[in-house]
Amino acid sequence: AKKFGRNRYHYFTPDMQAQAQARMQRIGDLRLALSRRELCLRYQPIVDLRSGKIRKAEALVRWQHPSLGLLSPQEFIPLAEETGLIVELGNWICEQALEQTASWRRTLDPAFQISINTSPVQLCDNGTRLDAWLTWLDRLQLPGSALALEITESILMSEAASERLLAIQSMGLEVSLDDFGTGYSTLSYLKKFDIDYLKIDRSFVQSLSPGSSDFVLCEAIILMAHKLGIQVVAEGIETDTQHRYLVEMGCDYGQGYRYSKPVSADEFERLVAGIHRA
């Protein structure tokens, strides 16, 4: 056979073939992951910067893969979105999060709120049954405000998703704009939609020092949000210095390794008990 024929680009190289096979394998595994109970949620505290108390948590999904170990969402959420599995996955995450909120509202704080990440694909799909979400809220005797949906700016651009969003808000769920400042932000969305929280992306918090453009941007975002009646969560706070600057700027909530990495439900309870006793 000719080694480098003219048509060589029409064929998979062994490498590409292996990649495609690994992908198919992972899709198959993901289909089974839910029934095999391999998925779990980790919770990262969201701290009230005025009181220092943990008032909320963000649920972050993990996949305990039988042979590959613990996989991060970046390693399987995109796949779940491409294959439509995100709908089933998202419904499972929502139900889990609601059960956890109900439990922590009894044991930790009657106003406790958990936020979950929702992808545009999931929100637009007809398989995402909002009536089911309502049924779970009812069964657990939870008000809509027990759950916040984290959405990205891109969702607000699609007609279908923005309709869904209105339906979600009419159920009383709160809405948090994730990774603020990194997408194609158009400030007019803040006027058009009733956003409850704005999450300043980690990239703005990373190199926060007086005089830096990130410092100016954080200050301005907080000021603008407050004038619009929106509360602000700063993401990716790792150091005491970052924490101090954000407190001084009047930021409402903080999240990041300075307080805790995402942890299991048990660890989360110990964390809250420790912090609130201190």
Angle at the Cα of 207 (from 183 to 120), degrees rounded to 5?
20
173, two tokens: 């769920």
Instruction: Kindly state the smallest distance separating residue 11's Cβ from ligand C2E, in Å.
Output: 35
Does residue 121 interact with ligand C2E by CB under 6 A?
no
242, two tokens: 């970052």
Q: Taking CB within 5 to 8 Å according to partner kind, which of ligand C2E, Ca ion, none is near residue 93? A: ligand C2E
Query: What is the footprint of Ca ion within residues 120-179 (CB under 5 A)?
Result: 150, 178-179
C-alpha dist (Å) from residue 86 to 15, 44, 77, 127, 162: 28, 21, 7, 10, 19
89, two tokens: 């996955």
Beta carbons within 10 angstroms of residue 109's beta carbon: 15
Half-sphere exposure of 266 (CA within 13 A, CB side): 1
Does residue 120 interact with ligand C2E by CB under 6 A?
no
Does residue 238 interact with ligand C2E by CB under 6 A?
yes
Q: Taking CB within 5 to 8 Å according to partner kind, which of ligand C2E, Ca ion, none is near residue 11? A: none
Does residue 252 interact with Ca ion by CB under 5 A?
no
Q: Which of 29, 179, 196, 214 binds ligand C2E (CB under 6 A)?
A: 179
DSSP structure class, residue 263: B
Does residue 77 interact with ligand C2E by CB under 6 A?
yes
Binding mask 125-164 for ligand C2E (x = CB under 6 A): -------------------------x--------------
C-alpha dist (Å) from residue 209 to 21, 52, 67, 199, 204: 47, 22, 43, 19, 10
Q: Taking CB within 5 to 8 Å according to partner kind, which of Ca ion, ligand C2E, none is near residue 125? A: none
User: Among the candidate windows 11-19, 138-146, 220-228, 230-238, which touches ligand C2E by CB under 6 A?
Assistant: 230-238
Name the site residues for Ca ion (rule: CB under 5 A).
117, 150, 178-179, 194, 196
